[in-house]
Amino acid sequence: MGQLPPAAFSTDNDEVQGWVCDNGKMNLRVINLAEAFGSFSEYWSPRIAGEINDSFVKLAKLSGEFVWHHHEKEDELFLVVKGILRMRLRIEGEESELRIKPGEFVIIPRGTEHLPIADEEVHVLLLEPKSTLNTGNVQNERTKSELSRL
């Protein structure tokens, strides 16, 4: 990676917050989670907030119950930013539940049946391969195949 001008790294100047470089070759900016979550309101509709290697960083607002599904090839990380995420799991026919609180994350391994539930509004950061569909092996009205970027 080439060197950026020193000014680009200044942290005491509001004017350099936001995009540092957006020239089509490099995409470097600071993401403020509170601002990012404030920029959309739709539930169960992940927004792409960044790319890391072959994965997307996504932000999603959850409310209510999703659908049981699994991902054949992708592990999924859920980092809770707000609220309490209940993650129901079905492993070898046995149901169990994890509760993930703000500041905590869980990785759901590929192949694992899971059902996210948000009794009250939950904000999550997801980290998962770009190929990951929100409803995994299930295709229904909850499926979002085209995600917008923040």
Sites of contact with Ni ion (CB under 5 A): 76
Which residues neighbour 28 within 8 Å (Cβ) at sequence distance 6 or greater? 4, 19, 20, 21, 22
Minimum distance from CB of 82 to Ni ion (Å)?
19
Give the residue from 94, 90, 80, 98 showing the smallest Cα distance to 37.
80
- Of 49 and 126, CB closest to Ni ion: 126
Measured in residues, the chain has a length of 150
- Of 57 and 76, CB closest to Ni ion: 76
Rounded Cα distance, 37 and 80, in Å: 12
- Of 3 and 145, CB closest to Ni ion: 145
**3-state DSSP call for residue 142?**
coil
Minimum distance from CB of 3 to Ni ion (Å)?
39
- Of 142 and 149, CB closest to Ni ion: 142
Minimum distance from CB of 112 to Ni ion (Å)?
9
- The string of DSSP letters for 75-109 reads -EEEEEEES-EEEEEEETTEEEEEEE-TT-EEEE-
Minimum distance from CB of 57 to Ni ion (Å)?
15
